[in-house]
Every structure is written in C-alpha cells, then in structure tokens.
Amino acid sequence: MNLKILIAAFTLVAGAGALAADPPAAPSATPVKHPSLKSCNREATAKQLSGKQREQFVKDCTAGKTQSGGGQTAAH
C-alpha cells in the first residue's frame, strides 16, 4: 500500500514539474507599433515639459510622430 502512495505522489510531482516546464505563450502576431502612454509620459517628464507642450508631446509620442531618445526638441 505504501508503495502505491509513493508512486502516486511521485507521479503528481513529476506531472507538476512538466506543467511548469511548458514554454511561455508565443507573442501576439501584431507587434506594438507605438510607444505606450507610460513611456511617453516618462519622456515628457525627462524633458521637463508642462501644460500644452506636454499634452502635444504625449499626443504626438503615442501617435508615433516623435523620435524616442531626444531626437526632437520642443522649439515651439
């Protein structure tokens, strides 16, 4: 009887290990085209933008109209 319990316990542990070893799900087929709002807000803060300039920058950034990494300056 103890041998059956031991085999059953081993099978459960081995099965749980096999489930944990499954590869993660494949990424979606549609890549993210635009930066997230969070990253655009972070860039606006780094550039010390406020008010209308900040709003316009974040809007353009999320639309993909700005270059990330300081390529565009706020000259208006």
Q: Which domain holds residue 46?
A: 33-67
Q: Is residue 48 assigned to a domain?
A: yes
Q: Residue 15 falls within a domain, yes or no?
A: no
**Residue-level pLDDT at 37:** 85
Residues ≥6 apart with Cβ < 8 Å to 25:
none
Q: How many domains does the chain have?
A: 1
Size of the chain, expressed as the number of residues it contains = 76
Residue 18 lies in a domain: no
Residue 9: per-residue pLDDT: 72
Mean pLDDT computed over every residue of the chain: 73
Q: Which residues of 16-43 are buried (b: 16+ CB within 10 A; e: fewer)?
A: eeeeeeeeeeeeeeeeeeebeeeebbeb
Judge whether 9 lies within some domain.
Answer: no
Choice between 26 and 49, residue whose per-residue pLDDT is larger: 49
- Other CB atoms within a 10 A radius of the CB of residue 57 amount to 20
The pLDDT of residue 53:
94
pLDDT at 28 (0 to 100): 61
Q: Is the pTM above the cut of 0.85?
A: no
